[in-house]
Structure 1
Amino acid sequence: KYRNLLLPMHMAIRCHEYLRHTAAAQITYKITRSRSIQVELGKAESFRETLKATQGPCNTSKPSMLDFVNKAKWDAWKSLGSVSQEEARQQYVDLISSLVGTEAPAVAAQPTGSTKGFQTLLVSTEDNITTIRLNRPEKKNAITVEMYNELIEALDLAGKDDSVITVITGSGDYYCSGNDLNNFTKIPEGGVEKLAKESGELLRRYVKVYIDFPKPLIGVINGPAVGVSVTLLGLFDVVYATEKATFHTPFSQLGQSPEGCSSYLFPKIMGAAKASEMLLFNKKLTAAQACEVGLVTEVFPESSFQSEVWTRLKAYAKLPRNSLALSKQLIRVVEKEKLHAVNDAEVERLVERWLSDECMQAIMSFFQAKSKL
């Protein structure tokens, strides 16, 4: 590709013959194989130096003003003045050497589908898409403390990598069944008060990552979603769901209260009445209903869900990365401060609820019912 760039026109043959017996021949060969941007930047200068080395001073007539390409070449050649061909050859060699010297250092390519080692997630980057897959299918992808911490880390890394979009989905037949209630059974030395405080701070950090996430964030909801995995959807940019997905926020059943900024975003998205049905009275929505109220962008048949969604995502990933990020920033920045305040308020209320008799009784009832199965 670059051989024609460095030795344009048939007149460069003589220069090539000269360089073939010098170190410059090896340099030229290296450049012809290089992908360095410096070669592109040196295109005009290389053209002038090649003419200088092969033809000497410009002695041809000036092309027509309408012959833009040849006129530009003639102007470059004419600007050289009178230089001996021997001196010109040396300048050509020096030019090519300088292009090699400024070549960007080689960067090892990230292997396609590369992953980082997580215990509860599968994280990969391919086709400019970073995919974070909840990976506890045997527990319906219930979120443990470990998974919370890994999700925070994975999202932080995804926000800084070279991918264009980030996708969150689940392994198996569930997207996510919400919090693993076993989190509430591991009481630290400081007692339940310490557990509630630490859990609240973890949740605050977790939701904050979504509020501040800089790239388009897309949910691929492959099955039922419960609790925090539903409330966070208001912070996603696009949500695609299979027709088999359902959306359930049973907070009052567990003596708890909403999180994930849903107390603010759900009424904005679907109206106060529909939001109250979900957040106060535990109404479970089908995928079609969730789409109708604006929580889900589009619903797909189960049979074609994965193929249709991923075809679309790969097309999105070909869009200019910075343009998408800056456009998202414009859309979200107006309410970012408000969302952080809502997150703080929701967490504060949840810590209170976790220490309440209602919540403790609801969790005990859950485990008693589970033990009878």
Structure 2
Amino acid sequence: MFSRRTLGCVLQSRVTCTRITLPLWQKILRNSSSSSFEVAQSRLASLREEPDNDTKLKLYGLFKQATVGDCTALKPGMLDFVAKAKWEAWNQLKNTTKSDAESGYVQLVDTLLSHEDKESETLNLLTSSESGVFTITMNRPSKKNALTTEMYRGIISGLDEAAADESVRIAVLTGEGDFYSSGNDLKNVAMLAKPGGLEMAYKGAELLREFVDRFISFPKPLVAVVNGPAVGLAVTTLGLCDLVYASDKATFHTPFSSLGITAEGCSSLLFPRIMGPARANELLIYGRKLSATDAYDWGLVSDVIPYMHFKDEVSSRLRHLAGLPPQAVQLTKKLSHECTSDLLHHANKREVEILRGRFTSEEALQAATRFFLKNKT
């Protein structure tokens, strides 16, 4: 269709049909007092399909009104279609405050992205059940399997289904493509800069608490099949899994401090126990990235398998695990978790309480803005 640096606005006249090109689609990154406005400019690049021409003109007008103010230029001549379209899109917002224009721009970008998310959301999480193995696959490879709100809910539902189905012996969580998961989608954090952010932070924190609680209370063996890099929550919840099989291409990174947030997934309790306080601090505070071999040596991973044989070897192990006497397996898991279950639920609750405040902190919002500006291309 049209390039992302062009507004392909085609206007009909009595004489000719002229294509109007405007430098609208390029993201003009200037200083702004609004973090959400800056983030919206960067998020615009993540659209899979370009908006229609009318929407592009609205974005242009809102941007100019938000950054410059009222249009004071003379109206271009009738035959200068390019300048005329730009002028009209901007001038119709006359007397709109810069703040209102910023809000309108952010809202329009949110609407465009929300529409795309709704269209693809049903494909972002896949479940299957075969021979006693219930598999939940994070299926958002173009976004490194970053977790959306609906994916959180889908994984909760999937674990509930696996727990209730007597034919299911084990549950498996894995990722599609090159990534296991990049953790929480930072769009979720960026949305908190909007009006109503405090309420959204509360709801998001409660969803996170419920999500992690499902890992804690899941009664059957829970296996993480880490096919590639894991980040944030995708790493911390590994401590709640009974087995973790990692490809030798997997890496493990918890950049909480650089994102202005704090540890979650019960990692504040489990990681010091699994790998010792000093190493846990390397991950949770310093943000050290581990290779698959490091993660194995530190006790976070059960085994590392060469990528070339990863799928076949893991499938063989899962079939063996699913073939073991289910009651004996579940009772052993219950015994091993009885002494720590209450502690884990308490740690989860406490972590979420702290995160709720961090989500709307200036540090976290600035970090999210830096992330989107860095990844704007």
Task: Report the TM range for the smaller structure's normalisation.
Answer: 0.5 to 0.7
* Aligned-residue offset at 1:322: 1.2
1:305 aligns with 2:298: no
The change in CA–CA distance for 1:187 and 1:248 in structure 2 (over 3 A counts) is closer
1:363 aligns with 2:361: no
Structure 2 counterpart of 1:206, from 208, 211, 225: 211
Amino acid at match of 2:240: L
Name the structure, 1 or 2, with higher relative contact order (CA <8 Å, separation 6+): 2
Give the SS at the match of 1:130: strand
Structure 2 counterpart of 1:231, from 216, 227, 236: 236
Contact 2:192 2:201 in 1 (8 A): no
**Aligned-residue CA RMSD (Å):** 1.4
Map residues 28-39 of structure 1 onto 2, 5 A cutoff: none
Amino acid at match of 1:142: A
- Whole-angstrom distance in 2 between the partners of 1:189 and 1:284: 32
- Whole-angstrom distance in 2 between the partners of 1:184 and 1:339: 25
* Aligned-residue offset at 1:119: 3.6
- Whole-angstrom distance in 2 between the partners of 1:144 and 1:237: 24
- TM-score, with structure 2 as normaliser: 0.66
* Aligned-residue offset at 1:352: 1.1
Map residues 182-221 of structure 1 onto 2, 5 A cutoff: 182-187=187-192, 191-221=196-226
The change in CA–CA distance for 1:189 and 1:141 in structure 2 (over 3 A counts) is closer
Deviations 1:72-107 (A, max 9, x none): xxxxxxxxxxxxxxxxxxxxxxxxxxxxxxxxxxxx
- Whole-angstrom distance in 2 between the partners of 1:158 and 1:118: 19
Report the counterpart of residue 176 of structure 1 in structure 2. Answer: 181
Structure 1 counterpart of 2:348, from 327, 337, 343: 343
Amino acid at match of 1:238: L
1:165 aligns with 2:170: yes
Report the counterpart of residue 136 of structure 1 in structure 2. Answer: 140
Map residues 57-72 of structure 1 onto 2, 5 A cutoff: none
Unpaired segments ≥5 residues, structure 1:
1-116
Amino acid at match of 2:353: E
Deviations 1:34-64 (A, max 9, x none): xxxxxxxxxxxxxxxxxxxxxxxxxxxxxxx
Deviations 1:326-358 (A, max 9, x none): 110000111101100000000001011112111
Report the counterpart of residue 247 of structure 2 in structure 1. Answer: 242
- Whole-angstrom distance in 1 between the partners of 2:183 and 2:169: 28
Structure 2 counterpart of 1:154, from 147, 158, 162: 158
* Aligned-residue offset at 1:184: 2.4
* Aligned-residue offset at 1:188: 9.6
Contact 2:190 2:368 in 1 (8 A): no
Report the counterpart of residue 27 of structure 1 in structure 2. Answer: none
The change in CA–CA distance for 1:142 and 1:234 in structure 2 (over 3 A counts) is same
Map residues 33-52 of structure 1 onto 2, 5 A cutoff: none
- Whole-angstrom distance in 2 between the partners of 1:282 and 1:164: 35
Give the SS at the match of 1:244: coil
Unpaired segments ≥5 residues, structure 2:
1-120
Structure 1 counterpart of 2:333, from 317, 321, 328: 328
Amino acid at match of 2:203: E
